[in-house]
Amino acid sequence: MAIVWDNVVTGTVFTILGAILGILFMLLGVLIIPRIVNMLTPNIDEEREIIRGNQAVARYFGGIVQATIIGMSIIIGAAIIAGLLG
């Protein structure tokens, strides 16, 4: 019975640590990705264009950020699962 509780405690600790690391990486990504997009498009000020109501820039910028968040979520989820099964 002690082995079962050890596995439960270990799994819970790894899940909590993975969740905390995942949240930190997602926050870091959300802070860094818009800056990278701004560096890649130096002639366009995305924030100003979005404020002015430019839908094309808003959809482009939003799509890039969304794709990055989804990609990072998949990678972080795979790392957490690999750590639990490892």
Average pLDDT across the chain, whole number: 82
Confidence band for 35, pLDDT divided at 50, 70 and 90: confident
Residue owning tokens 């989820």: 77
| Distance separating alpha carbons of residues 63 and 14, to the nearest angstrom | 32
pLDDT at residue number 16: 82
Backbone angles phi, psi at 81, to 5 degrees: -65, -40
pLDDT at residue number 85: 67
Confidence band for 86, pLDDT divided at 50, 70 and 90: low
Largest alpha-carbon pair distance within the chain?
64
Kindly report whether the global pTM for this prediction surpasses the value 0.85.
no
Residue 26: which of 81, 80, 83 has the closest Cα?
80
Confidence band for 52, pLDDT divided at 50, 70 and 90: very high
- Residue ranges covered by each domain of the chain: 22-85
Q: What is the pLDDT averaged over residues 12-21?
A: 80
| Distance separating alpha carbons of residues 80 and 67, to the nearest angstrom | 20
